[in-house]
Chain A
Amino acid sequence: MNSIIFTAGARILVALLFVFSLFMLLRGHHLPGGGFIGGLLGAVAFIVYSLACGPAEAKSALRASPEGIAAVGLGIALVAGLVAFFFGDPFFTGQWYWVGGDSYETSIFSLNTVLVFDIGVYLVVLGSILSIAYAFEEET
């Protein structure tokens, strides 16, 4: 679109939006946010990118095809559910590992499948929306 002003703004905004999207993803379990909102924001970031530099460059910045990212995201979400099998729990039962303690109160932080699932959601939403947006962009 070769607007110098927009491109210059986009340089800041893309990074900002992307960081913000990760922020929304990570805090989503406790405050407004989560995988959907994060993924949508991430997609917006890369749409801004593609508006500034064209879909080809935005795609290459993504390092992987959006469809692939989405598929991997779905795989991650599925695995987050299947992990419960090895702990004798039903599908999608959240598995929590407390780092430095044995409960929420005593631990420093936790590793858990719930967040892994949300990351899968994030990737699916990001990849899918970008896939659609880029396809439209390339066809017009």
Chain B
Amino acid sequence: MTSWLLVMPIAVPFATAVLAYLMRRAPAGRWISLTGSVLSLVASIALLMAVLDEGVIAAQMSNWDAPFGITLVADYLGVVMVVITAITGLATAIYALGEIPERLERLGYHALFQTLIAGVTGAFLTGDLFNLYVWFEVMLISSFGLLVLGGTREQLDAGIKYVALNLVSTLIFLSGIGLLYGVTGTLNMADLRDAVANSEDQTLITVIAMMFMVGFGVKAGVFPLFFWLPASYHTPSFAVSAVFAGLLTKVGVYAMMRMFTLVFVGDIGFTHEILIWVSLATMLTGVLGAAAQTDFRKILSFHIISQIGYMTLGLALYTPLALMGGVFYLVHHIIVKANLFLVSGVAYKLTGSTDLNRIGGLYKSSPFLAALFIVPAFSLAGFPPLSGFWAKYLIVKASIELEMWFVAFIALFVGLLTIFSMTKIWGMAFWKPHPDGIEPVPTRVPAHIRLPMMLPIIGLATMTVLIGLFPEPFVQFAETAAAQLLDPSDYVTTVLGAQR
């Protein structure tokens, strides 16, 4: 039955996608999608319970032994990503009830959305490298569809860049898989660990590792490969950009964390050292990019990049504390960033633009929304006692422990600049009066649109506060996750010993 616990978080969104597509014309589509998202959450929580109970769990798909068949496996990192994906999915599914117009629903919005969730979840659960590629593709093609759904000129332009750059990264990744298979003869990630370690040509392994880093680096949006992200994330509907912002880059980070703790650990002095500098550059360029923007969503987009740097830094420093920080950061950032994009959608609904120069007055007439913005915004900026503070704290502490003063300095400095951008949004969209004297009163938006849009924002903000106020279970969880990453022997034995 363990096997089915691993399968359901993937199978449910697929089944939902099929049904939602077949019934897309009726209003049934959106309710099917919502029900599916609820069920996905239930399934992922069931999986979480199992992992908390048993530690790493694995199952052999089609009932073929590892490494011959495809393994699904959930360790702490994997399962928390699955749960957080389901949460983000549910939040955006509710939001979509209010935001997504029927025209887009008829074009298959819900099906694309659910396959996106399925792809992301599959990527988090698979223990097979080629299968990871397949899930990457499922996720990628769904995101293509969602990004350009609606077909505005802006979306199409963004779509060209997004698609082009992501396809290149995909092909780099695919070639990397082929080459690694050529060296080791296996695709199972647990099996690869030994095979890679025993390879006689370690330089070649490092070269292939670097190819993976580039491939994943594009997905994750690290410096200098992040171009596709700020070029596109401000163009689709807000529910879509929220789920993109929350999940997509994280899959890249996750894949990097997985491969560079499980498989590519033979030349840490090289690969991870490079990643430190890449991370720092990512943090800095992202936050500077954000400072230069005056659009709500563009600022948020550049911040994704900046924050990705913290997560990869957690991996690059490669200590228990640093990885713990990386894991904590992943979880925190998904919740917070998705929420900020959702808020930007409500702000857009109320003010008619996301250009900060053209909007304002939200603080005065929508204090509740203001409060709901403040929470994720200052969490992102790392203000205590919100979730982002603990995330940043762990990373900074890890770099100080390593006596990497410069790294710690950059991590803190970027935090300061993050405050700068968040307060820029706050100052221009909320505090500043609307330039046209409009009073963006929330009740002007009909309740059947407003309520579904506000509900997930409230929920995610509550989670941000709760994680901030009661971080202990999350910290402990991240600690175990980090320990499993640094010493994957449990992972390896569970996967290779999984019963047929």
Contact = CB atoms under 8 A, between A and B. Distances in A.
A contacts B directly (C-beta below 8 A): yes
A81 B18 CA distance: 15
Interface stretch (B56-64, B209-217, B380-388): B56-64
A75 B3 CA distance: 20
Contacts of A85: 4
Interface stretch (A13-21, A26-34, A45-53, A86-94): A86-94
A68 B59 CA distance: 32
Contacts of B296: none
B21 interface: yes
Contact of A92 (B14, B17, B22, B61): B61
Contacts, number: 47
A82 B11 contact: yes
B22 A72 contact: yes
A78 B4 contact: no
A74 to B, nearest CB: 5
A82 B19 CA distance: 16
Nearest to A81: B11
B119 to A, nearest CB: 13
Contacts of B22: 68, 71-72, 75
Contacts of A71: 18, 21-22, 111
B7 interface: yes
A78 B15 CA distance: 7
Contacts of B15: 75, 78
Interface residues of B, number: 19
Contacts of B60: 90
Nearest to A85: B4
Contact of B62 (A74, A82, A93): A93
Contacts of B14: 74, 78
B301 to A, nearest CB: 30
Interface in A64-110: 67-68, 71-72, 74-75, 78, 81-82, 84-85, 89-94
Given A78-B11, A81-B11, A82-B11, A90 B18 contact: no
A75 B108 CA distance: 16
Contacts of B62: 90-94
A46 B63 CA distance: 37
A87 B17 CA distance: 25
Nearest to A70: B21
Contact of A74 (B18, B61, B63, B108): B18
Contacts of B11: 78, 81-82, 91
Nearest to B7: A91
B134 to A, nearest CB: 14
A71 B7 CA distance: 20
Interface string B65-99: 00000001000000000000000000000000000
Contact of B63 (A68, A72, A78, A93): A93
Interface string B132-158: 000000000000000000000000000
A67 B24 CA distance: 12
B273 to A, nearest CB: 40
A82 B12 CA distance: 11
A84 to B, nearest CB: 8
B39 to A, nearest CB: 14
A89 B63 contact: yes
Contacts of A81: 7, 11
A91 B18 contact: no
B57 to A, nearest CB: 12
A2 to B, nearest CB: 33
B210 to A, nearest CB: 33
Contacts of A67: 21, 108
17 contacts: A67-B108, A68-B22, A71-B18, A71-B22, A72-B18, A78-B11, A78-B14, A78-B15, A78-B18, A81-B7, A84-B63, A85-B4, A90-B3, A90-B4, A91-B3, A91-B4, A91-B7
Interface of B: 3-4, 7, 11, 14-15, 17-19, 21-22, 59-63, 72, 108, 111
Given A91-B3, A91-B7, 12 more contacts: A68-B22, A72-B18, A72-B22, A75-B15, A75-B18, A75-B19, A81-B11, A82-B11, A89-B63, A90-B3, A90-B7, A91-B59
